[in-house]
Amino acid sequence: QKEVEQNSGPLSVPEGAIASLNCTYSDRGSQSFFWYRQYSGKSPELIMFIYSNGDKEDGRFTAQLNKASQYVSLLIRDSQPSDSATYLCAVRSQAAGNKLTFGGGTRVLVKP
C-alpha cells in the first residue's frame, strides 16, 4: 500500500463545474496536509493546507480533512481551463521528521 494515494486521472470537468479530488493516506500520525498544483513542466505551487478536521475554504478552493477516515479532499468550484494541471496531495508527520510524502497526483482537465 502506498503511503499517499491519489487517482491518477485524468479527471475531466466541464468549465464552471466543481472538480472533486481525493487523497487517502496510511500514516495515522500524519498532522499536516497540503495540496499543490503543478502545471506541465513547472514546479509544484502550494494552493491549500489544512491541519484540523473539517473544511477550509480559500477562494474557489475548499480542502476537507477527515483524520478518522484518513482522507483529505480538494474541491475546485467554478472550474476554469486555467485550473487544468496535476494536483498533488502531500502529507507530513512530525514523527517522520517533518518530511512531505506526496501522492502521485491527479491530472485535471477543464474543458471549455
Q: How far is the CB of 15 from another protein (least distance, A)?
A: 26
Which window, 13-21, 42-50, 65-73, 76-84, contacts another protein (CB under 8 A)? 42-50
| Alpha carbons 90 and 104: distance in angstroms, whole number | 9
Which window, 9-17, 32-40, 62-70, 72-80, contacts another protein (CB under 8 A)? 32-40
Q: How far is the CB of 102 from another protein (least distance, A)?
A: 3
| Alpha carbons 105 and 112: distance in angstroms, whole number | 22
**Candidate list 21, 30, 34, 74; residue touching another protein; CB under 8 A:** 34
Give Cβ neighbours of residue 88 (< 8 Å, ≥ 6 apart).
6, 35, 36, 37, 38, 44, 102, 103, 105
Q: Please give the residue ranges that form the binding site for another protein (CB under 8 A).
A: 4, 32, 34, 36, 42-46, 49, 88, 90, 92, 94, 96-105
